[in-house]
């Protein structure tokens, strides 16, 4: 008799199910990533903030005190600074991947 192998659900599967459920509560809108009357000013601000958070993130990594906050903020601001929709989309997908990785880190338990 052969044993059936049971496939354990990857943690990311459960997290994505939570994301799908949470997505239902988010309004479905078709709007540009950079809004406002002067989106170029917003993108300029976001670019500055992305650079600032990348510097903070690098410093923390070098000091051995990393955190998801600086990683996520650097990625978020960098994404919001993108001018081309396809680049913003790629950045948002990357940001979502980072967010899932951060949730997995929380689910594994305290880091301290």
Per the domain annotation, does 9 fall within a domain? no
* Structural domain contains residue 26: no
- Residue 6 counted as domain residue: no
Residue 75 lies in a domain: yes
- 2: in domain: no
The span from the CA of 96 to the CA of 100, in Å, is 6
Q: In whole angstroms, what is the distance from residue 22 CA to residue 16 CA? A: 10
Q: Is residue 23 part of a domain?
A: no
Is 47 part of a structural domain of the chain?
yes
Does 51 reside within a domain? yes
Q: Is the pLDDT of residue 7 over 70?
A: no
Task: Provide the number of structural domains found in the chain.
Answer: 1
Q: What is the pLDDT of residues 74-97, one digit of tens each?
A: 999 999 999 999 999 999 999 999
- The pTM of the full predicted model, rounded to 2 decimals, is 0.83
**pLDDT for res 11:** 84
User: What are 28-35's contacts with CB under 8 Å, separation 24+?
Assistant: 32/85, 33/79, 33/80, 33/82, 33/85, 33/88, 33/92, 34/80
Identify the domain containing residue 45 by its residue range. Answer: 39-112
SS3 38: coil
Structure token digits, residue 108 = 């594994």
Q: What's the chain's Rg over C-alpha atoms?
A: 18
Nearest to 47 by CA among 9, 111, 98, 91: 91
CA 111 to CA 43: how far, in whole Å?
A: 34
Is the confidence at residue 8, as pLDDT, over 90? no
């Amino acid at each position: 008799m052969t044993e059936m192998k049971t496939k354990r659900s990857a943690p990311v599967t459960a997290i994505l199910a939570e994301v799908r459920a949470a997505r239902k509560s988010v309004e479905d809108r078709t709007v540009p990533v950079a809004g406002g009357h002067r989106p170029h000013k917003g993108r300029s601000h976001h670019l500055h903030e992305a650079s600032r958070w990348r510097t903070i993130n690098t410093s923390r990594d070098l000091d051995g005190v990393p955190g998801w906050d600086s990683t996520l903020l650097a990625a978020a601001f960098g994404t919001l600074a993108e001018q081309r929709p396809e680049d913003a989309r790629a950045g948002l997908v990357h940001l979502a991947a980072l967010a899932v990785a951060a949730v997995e880190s929380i689910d594994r338990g305290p880091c301290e």
